[in-house]
């Protein structure tokens, strides 16, 4: 119970859990979906599922920006590296499997692949080595897209280009509602994405789909509160959009970041690993920035990628249809040290979160 957990305020957590229990006692099954790797970490690390009544379930949707990068886009990065370019990326991306190899394996074969901690690091590297061509592999949701936009718009050196693989969260949430057998009763919307995009992009969920939707922060109390708020909406039959995280998320989000994203990118359809093609879910550089588009600059071409390796169930984990421990490879053939699927690679991947917190989860 809450007393045994590492909460700052176990009494408050316990009280919220009691309120959820009392609300849900005659409500039938309530299935709540979040779409954020950090929410999954909070829920798993603090054992929040163990505080919920049996009829309230929280599942993890496609909330890991690294896990959903399709193999074909890893293949593009590998191809760019094998052409002799220096490919820069965040550390989590390095081990994500492509159709034939990961960037780490390309590096082991001699390609120049370097980890950066910020997009600006790639800019600085390109400035310091003007005789080499640099590519920044831009992966992430709305949280990281603004920093790619800022650098792309900031007159970067001509020997730097961007392989853009940014994806947008609301279209993925909409997709989940089309999967009839998932039968979601409410969404916990991600706090950090919402700090950029604000509340408006979620308005359709209660209005069109009658889906309770609550933007939540990342403390265990935030997540428990959001579960309570969703359960209350569900029980009262009053789906609305609520903001549990007003200390960070403003209704209009971050207008400056949105303006930079809008200047740098157009929205287009894109493939998601394990999900397939989603309309209006992907960003690409605008024509005015075409000279910085690595795909155009180096005429990158890959065949259709192979997203899911034989036996891996990432396609089901990513959409919350199964839990990581329902994959036969979980902590057997697939471990954080030797990941098989993308969900075990990133610190935000559901399988990795469960693997790292297995004692809590049990
Ligand atoms: S445990 Fe490994 S193989 Fe199984 S779904 Fe997760 S990442 Fe894929």
**Residues 199-238: tens digit of each pLDDT:** 999 999 999 999 999 999 999 999 999 999 999 999 999 9
Please tell me the distance between residue 310's alpha carbon and the centre of ligand 1 in angstroms: 10
How much of the chain, in percent, has pLDDT values that exceed 70? Answer: 97
pLDDT digits (tens, 9 = 90+) for 120-169: 999 999 999 999 999 999 999 999 999 999 999 999 999 999 999 999 99
Predicted confidence (pLDDT) at residue 188 exceeds the cutoff of 70: yes
Burial class (CB in 10 A: 0-12, 13-18, 19+), 177: middle
Ligand 1 mutation target, pool 306, 331, 351, 354, most atoms within 8 A of CB: 351
List of domains in the chain: 2-65+170-243 (3.40.50.11750), 71-166+253-297 (3.40.50.11740), 314-357 (no CATH)
DSSP H or E segment with residue 240: none
How far apart CA 144 and CA 146 sit, in angstroms, is 6
Helix, strand, or coil (residue 280):
strand
Q: Is 96 in the pocket of ligand 1 (CB under 6 A)?
A: no
pLDDT digits (tens, 9 = 90+) for 272-324: 998 899 999 999 999 999 999 999 999 998 987 788 878 899 999 999 999 99
Report the chain's mean pLDDT, rounded to a whole number. 94
Helix 119-128 vs helix 145-153: crossing angle, to nearest 10: 30
Please tell me the distance between residue 353's alpha carbon and the centre of ligand 1 in angstroms: 12
Q: Is 317 in the pocket of ligand 1 (CB under 6 A)?
A: yes
**Buried b or exposed e, range 256-279, using 16+ CB within 10 angstroms:** ebbebbeebbebeebbbbbbeebe
Label residue 6 by pLDDT band (50, 70, 90): low
Where do we find the tokens 């990513």?
A: 318
Backbone angles phi, psi at 332, to 5 degrees: -115, -90
Label residue 9 by pLDDT band (50, 70, 90): confident
Contact 74, 303 (CB under 8 A): no
Alpha carbon nearest to ligand 1 atom 1, residue: 330
Q: What is the pTM of this model?
A: 0.92
């Amino acid at each position: 119970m809450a007393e045994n957990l590492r909460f700052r305020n176990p009494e408050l957590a316990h009280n919220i859990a009691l309120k959820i229990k009392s609300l849900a006692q005659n409500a039938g099954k309530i299935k709540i979906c979040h779409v954020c790797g950090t929410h999954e970490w909070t829920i798993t690390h603090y054992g929040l599922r163990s505080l919920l009544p049996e009829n309230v379930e929280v599942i993890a949707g496609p909330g890991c920006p690294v896990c959903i990068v399709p193999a074909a886009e890893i293949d593009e990065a590998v191809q760019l590296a094998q052409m002799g370019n220096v490919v820069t990326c965040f550390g989590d991306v390095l081990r994500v499997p492509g159709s034939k190899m990961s960037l780490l394996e390309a590096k082991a074969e001699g390609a120049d692949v370097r980890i950066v901690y910020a997009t600006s690091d790639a800019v600085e590297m390109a400035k310091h080595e003007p005789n080499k061509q640099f590519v920044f592999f831009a992966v992430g949701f709305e949280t990281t897209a603004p920093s790619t936009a800022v650098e792309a718009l900031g007159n970067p050196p001509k020997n730097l280009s961007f392989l853009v693989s940014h994806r947008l969260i609301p279209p993925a949430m909409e997709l989940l509602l089309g999967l009839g057998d998932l039968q979601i009763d409410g969404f916990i919307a991600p706090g950090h994405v919402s700090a950029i995009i604000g509340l408006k992009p979620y308005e359709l969920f209660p209005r069109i789909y009658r889906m309770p939707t609550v933007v939540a922060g990342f403390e265990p109390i935030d997540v428990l509160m959001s579960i309570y708020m969703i359960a209350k909406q569900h029980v009262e039959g009053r789906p609305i959009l609520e903001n549990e995280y007003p200390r960070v998320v403003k209704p209009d989000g971050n207008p400056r970041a949105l303006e930079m994203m809008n200047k740098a990118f157009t929205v287009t359809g894109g493939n998601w690993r394990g999900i397939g093609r989603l309309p209006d879910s992907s960003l690409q550089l605008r024509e005015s920035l075409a000279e910085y588009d690595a795909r155009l600059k180096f005429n990158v071409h890959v065949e259709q990628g192979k997203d899911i390796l034989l036996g891996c169930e990432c396609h089901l984990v990513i959409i919350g249809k199964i839990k990581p421990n329902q994959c036969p490879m979980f902590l057997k053939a697939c471990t954080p040290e030797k990941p098989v699927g993308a969900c075990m690679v990133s610190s935000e991947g559901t399988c990795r979160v469960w693997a790292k917190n297995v004692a809590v989860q049990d």
